[in-house]
Chains A and B, each alone.
Chain A
Amino acid sequence: MVENLEQIADKVIETDVLMIGGGIGGCCAAAKAKEKGLDVTLIEKAHIERSGSSAQGIDHYEGFFTRDGTTTLENVRNEDWRLGRYGARYPNLNVKYRLYKHQFWVFDELEKLGVPMRWDDGEPYWIPFPFVGWERRKTGLRVHWTNIKPILAKAVKKSGARVLNRTMAVDLLTNNGRVVGASAVDIRTGKFIVIKAKATLIATGKLMRLYNPETPLPWKFKFRYHFCPASSAGDGYALVYRAGGDLVNMDISGWTLRHRDDLTISYGSFSLNDGIPMKCYTWDGTELLNPNATRYRQLEEQGKTPIYFSFDHFSDDLNKRIEVAFADERLLSFKVAQDRGFNPRTHRYELQDMRPTGFYRVSGIYIDENFRVLRGSLPIEGLYAFGDGSVGGTGGVAGAASGGLLLGEDLPAFLNDTDDPVVDISQVESHKQTALAPLSVKEGTEPLELESALRYLCERYVGMFKSEGKLREGLRRLSSLKGWLPKLSAETPHYLIGSLECRNLLEIAEVHIRACIERKETRGNFFKVDFPDKDPDMDNKFFCQRIEDGKAILELGEHVPLKPEYLREAQEEDANRESRS
C-alpha cells in the first residue's frame, strides 16, 4: 500500500499556480502571477525559448480594435456577426468583451516584459488595411517577433517562476470536483512528476492534428503544419475533457486551402500580416475571388484546378513588405525558396483542396470571462484556460497574451481563501501507469503510425463533406483504433510525447465525430450532405460535451449574452466617444 506521493513520483512540487504550456500566453501568465507574489510553476513540453504556436516567430498582433474610434461593444458585435456567418458564434460574448476592453493595458504590460512593440523609429507600426475595403482601420500591429519566445523566456526567468522544460502533462489531478494540480512526465528522462497546485492554468494551443497539415507530405514527414505541431495536439482539450470540463462546438472545425508549396504565412493571412491583398487564380489565369470548399469542388469538376496563389501583381514595395513578414515569421522560407529555385516574386504557390484544419475560436475548451473552465455552466474550482485552445476569442497572439496577463493579474484574488490541495494517491498511481506503460512495451507500434492512421480516418470519414454513413463508419473504426493504444511502444522516453499525444488525439477524435453526427444541418463551413439546410433553431445554440460519472455526455448550450455591467460600461464608452467628437 502506497502511503505518500514520494513513493510514486520522482519529484513532487507544491505550488500556488501550475501553468501548463509555455507559449506566449503561458509565459505572460507565469510572469504576471509571479509578479503578483504567487508561487508559480510552468511546465512546457518543449523548451520555453522556442515553443508554442509562435516558436519560430510571428509577424502580426491583431488586437487594438478600438483604435479607429469604434467602441468595444461595436467590435464585439461585429466579430460575433462575422463569425455567425461562417457557422458558429462565440458561446460567451463576455470573454471577448473583456479582452477587447484591456487591449491597451496589455500593450503596456508586454512592453514592461521587454517585448518590442515598436519599430526602430520608436513608433508602433499599424497595419494599414487588414482587409480590402478596411483601409481606415489600422488596428493591428506588424511586429518583428522572430525572437518573441527567447524574449518572453527571459522575462519568465527574471520573474523567478519555476520552469520545467521538456515536461508533458499526463492528466489533471482531481478531488471532489476540484482540480488540484497535474501529473507530468519528463520526456527526456522518463521521470514522473506530481505538481500540487491551488490553481491549474491551461494554455496548450489549438488542436489541429486530427487532420493532415496545411502542407501535407506523403511518406514520413507528417508534421509540416503551419503552427508548431507540439502545440497542436490538443493536449489541453483532452486534459479538460477527462477532468469533467466542457468542450464546445467540437463539430465545427476551422478550414483552410492546403498549400502544395511551402508558405510562411497561411492562406488568407497576408492581409493581416501587412495589409497585403493576395490574388488567387485558376491554372488558366481566371481570377478567383472566394475559393471556398464548394467552389473548389466545382472547379475540380470543370478541370479548372490546380489553383494558385500569387503576389506577382505586387509592386516592389509590397514584395519587400512580404519579405520582411517572412523574415519575422519563418526565416527558413528564404533559404528553402532559394534551394528549390523558387522566386516568390514571380512564381505562384499551388493551393490544394480546402480541408478542415483545427479547432479554435468557436470550438475548444469552454471558459467564462474570468477564464474559469466550465462544467455545465458552472466553473470547475481550480481550473482555468485561455489562449488558442479556449473558446470566445482568446486565440491568436493578442488573445493569448491578454488572457495570460489578465488571469495572472486576477489570480491572487481568486486564490485568496483557497485550501491547500489534497491529492488522491490512487489517481496518481493510475496516471503513472498510463504515462509510462509504453516504455515497457517491446516491438510495439510507433506513436506516429497510430496518429497517421487516426488522421487518415478523420480525413476519410469526417472530412469537409460529411454524411451520417461516413461518420458512423468513422466512429466504428475509431473504436478499433483505440485498441492499439496499449500496443504503443516507447523505445526512449522521447516517444512518450507521441504516445501521450495519441491518447489525447484519440479521445478528442471521438468527441469530434459524435458532435458531427449530432448536428443535423449544414451551417457555415459545416457541410452535411444529407442535411443540406440550416436549422434556425440552432442559431444561438452550441454543443457541450463532457464526461459525467464516466459517461460521455452531449447537450445543447445556450448562447450567453453580455453582462448588464458590461453593457452599462459600453454605454459610457459610447457617450464618451460622442462628447469627444
Chain B
Amino acid sequence: MYVKIDYDSCISCGTCYKRCPQDVFSWDDEKDTPKVTYIEECWFCGCCWMDCPKRAIDITYPASFF
C-alpha cells in the first residue's frame, strides 16, 4: 500500500478520516480505526501524513510514478 497506517502508533483520533480532501479513508467501526479504502483516488497531497499527531501514516510513491 502506498498510504500506510501504523496501527501501533495510531490513536484513532480520526484526523486523517476527517480531513482527507479525496475521502480516501473510511472508518472501521469494529476496530475503531481509520482504514485506507479508496487508495486509487489519492492525489499524494500529504495532508494525512502531515496532520497525523502521531506520525502514524507513511506515504510512498507508486511504481507508476517512476
Using a CB–CB cutoff of 8 Å, the interface residues on chain A facing chain B are: 46-47, 49-51, 55-56, 146, 166, 187-188, 215, 217-225, 228-230, 262, 330-332, 335-336, 339-340, 448, 492, 494, 497-498
Contacts and interface: CB of A to CB of B under 8 A. Distances in A.
B64 A187 contact: no
B42 A221 contact: yes
12 contacts: A46-B22, A47-B18, A49-B18, A50-B20, A55-B45, A220-B64, A229-B41, A230-B21, A262-B65, A332-B46, A332-B59, A335-B49
A11 B8 CA distance: 39
A46 B46 contact: no
B38 interface: yes
Interface of B: 18-23, 26, 37-38, 40-47, 49-51, 59-62, 64-66
A220 B18 contact: no
B64 A230 contact: no
A494 B21 contact: no
Contacts, number: 95
A49 B15 CA distance: 10
B46 A330 contact: yes
A448 B40 contact: yes
Contacts of A330: 45-46
A355 to B, nearest CB: 18
Contact of A187 (B19, B23, B44): B23
Contact of B60 (A215, A218, A339): A339
Interface core residue of B22, B26, B59 (most chain A CB under 10 Å): B22
B23 A494 contact: yes
A279 to B, nearest CB: 24
Given A331-B46, A332-B46, A218 B18 contact: no
Contacts of B40: 220-222, 448
A380 to B, nearest CB: 30
Nearest to A46: B21
Contacts of B18: 47, 49
Nearest to A231: B21
Nearest to A447: B41
Q: Which 6 A-B pairs have the closest CB atoms?
A: A332-B46, A56-B45, A50-B19, A223-B43, A55-B21, A46-B21
Given A229-B43, A332-B44, A494-B38, A218 B20 contact: no
Given A229-B43, A339-B60, 14 more contacts: A47-B20, A49-B18, A49-B19, A217-B64, A223-B22, A223-B43, A228-B43, A330-B45, A331-B46, A331-B49, A332-B50, A336-B61, A448-B40, A498-B41
A187 B23 CA distance: 9
Main secondary structure on B side of the interface with A: loop
A240 to B, nearest CB: 23
Contacts of B50: 56, 146, 331-332
A225 B43 contact: yes
Contact of B61 (A51, A262, A498): A262
Given A229-B43, A262-B65, A448-B41, A497 B23 contact: yes
Contacts of B49: 331-332, 335
A331 B51 CA distance: 11
A299 to B, nearest CB: 24
A340 B41 contact: no
Nearest to B43: A223
A332 B21 contact: no
Nearest to A339: B60
Contacts of B59: 332, 335-336
Contacts of A228: 21-22, 43, 45
Contacts of A331: 46, 49-50
Given A223-B41, A224-B43, A331-B46, A217 B21 contact: no
Nearest to B38: A494
A494 B19 contact: no
